[in-house]
């Protein structure tokens, strides 16, 4: 299983790795394994995705061998109305994992991971009736990105190549811890997200329920909602299409 074989034995229970040379999307592949009864904790990692997806149907750019593209099967042990917390928890897990290799990662609500105002990792959480597929793409050793993509990588930020397997292991360890805190201990997770909230103090434009709005981000509420001051009123945004920082 190549470079990932070494860390396979170090994964916390119940996490385990399945490596594939090429898939369409690791999220789709893992969903179909889950529907066929695969136990929770499977981490499906692909060297190459031919149809890697981002949120809102965007394509995910991940050249083979340079980044990490993987999906994790999770069955949250909390009531279903708390499952949405997983999305914020995974964002924090990835940010904390990235910080093992470079100084500071921020989180662009809800869970893009940013370094120096550029995206270093993206997360696609897809829930089914009784499981969640958490897809994670991390730019690890890429040295350049297509024009117009405000992206960066661990290699660009650290000035050296980074072992992809070591990054994967850190992410899984942090997810394993934060998944235990979706109910009790979630305030602590929210503190970590708040400390890294890239949007706080910025003017933004966003679309919610089909309406385009502009406002000033005050921070995050207790349930992880984005607090935006719009025309003098504080709005609690639970879900929004792309939030754009004005002037960026
Ligand atoms: C985003 O930033 O919009 C989310 C990007 C998520 C990309 C990852 S790569 C592994 C997994 N498989 C996919 O098809 N997408 C996610």
Domain hosting 211: range is: 203-245
Pick the residue whose CA is nearest to atom 16 on ligand 1: 135
Confidence of residue 62 (pLDDT cuts 50, 70, 90): confident
Ligand 1 site, residue 25, Cβ cutoff 6 A:
yes
Distance (Å, whole) CA 232 – CA 104: 32
Give strand ranges (E) for 25-105: 42-49, 68-74
In this structure, the answer to whether residues 93 and 212 fall within a common structural domain is: no
CATH number at residue 219: 2.30.30.100
Distance 51 CA to ligand 1 centre (A): 10
CATH number at residue 46: 3.30.930.10
Reported pTM: 0.96
Residue with tokens 């897990």: 93
In this structure, the answer to whether residues 45 and 145 fall within a common structural domain is: yes
3-state secondary structure of 195: helix
In this structure, the answer to whether residues 214 and 140 fall within a common structural domain is: no
56 vs 228, which has greater pLDDT? 228
* pLDDT one-digit tens code per residue, 75-130: 999 999 999 999 999 999 999 999 999 999 999 999 999 999 999 999 999 999 99
The C-alpha angle with vertex 154 and arms to 83 and 89, in degrees rounded to 5, equals 15
In this structure, the answer to whether residues 40 and 115 fall within a common structural domain is: yes
In this structure, the answer to whether residues 21 and 91 fall within a common structural domain is: yes
pLDDT reading at 1 higher than 80: no
Name the average pLDDT for the chain: 95
Number of folded domains in the chain?
A: 2
Token pair of 43 as six digits: 């981490």
In this structure, the answer to whether residues 70 and 186 fall within a common structural domain is: yes
Confidence of residue 148 (pLDDT cuts 50, 70, 90): confident
Ligand 1 site, residue 26, Cβ cutoff 6 A:
yes
Ligand 1 site, residue 91, Cβ cutoff 6 A:
no
In this structure, the answer to whether residues 154 and 235 fall within a common structural domain is: no
Instruction: State which of 113, 118, 135, 172 you would mutate to test the pocket of ligand 1, scoring each by most atoms of that ligand within 8 A of its C-beta.
Output: 135
In this structure, the answer to whether residues 176 and 233 fall within a common structural domain is: no
Which phi and psi angles does 234 have, rounded to 5°? -85, 120
């Amino acid at each position: 299983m190549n470079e990932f074989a070494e860390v396979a034995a170090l994964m916390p229970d119940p996490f385990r790795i399945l490596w594939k040379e090429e898939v369409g999307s690791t999220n789709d592949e893992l969903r179909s394994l889950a529907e066929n009864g695969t136990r929770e904790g499977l981490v499906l990692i692909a060297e190459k995705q031919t149809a890697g997806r981002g949120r809102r149907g965007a394509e995910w750019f991940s050249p083979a061998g340079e980044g990490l593209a993987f999906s994790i099967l999770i069955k949250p042990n909390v009531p279903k109305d708390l499952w949405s917390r997983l999305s914020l928890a995974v964002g924090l897990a990835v940010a904390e994992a990235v910080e093992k290799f470079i100084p500071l990662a921020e989180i662009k609500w809800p869970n893009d991971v940013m370094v120096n105002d550029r995206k270093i990792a993206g997360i696609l959480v897809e829930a089914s009736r009784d499981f969640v597929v958490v897809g994670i793409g991390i730019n690890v050793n890429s040295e350049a990105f297509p024009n117009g993509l405000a992206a960066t990588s661990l290699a660009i930020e650290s000035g050296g190549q980074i072992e992809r397997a070591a990054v994967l292991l850190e992410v899984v360890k942090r997810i394993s811890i934060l998944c235990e805190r979706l109910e009790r201990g979630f305030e602590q997770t929210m503190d970590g997200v708040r400390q890294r909230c890239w949007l706080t103090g910025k003017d933004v434009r966003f679309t919610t329920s089909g309406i385009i709005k502009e406002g000033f981000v005050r921070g995050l509420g207790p349930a992880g909602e984005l607090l935006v001051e719009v025309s003098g009123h504080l709005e609690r945004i639970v879900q929004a299409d792309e939030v754009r920082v004005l002037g960026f």
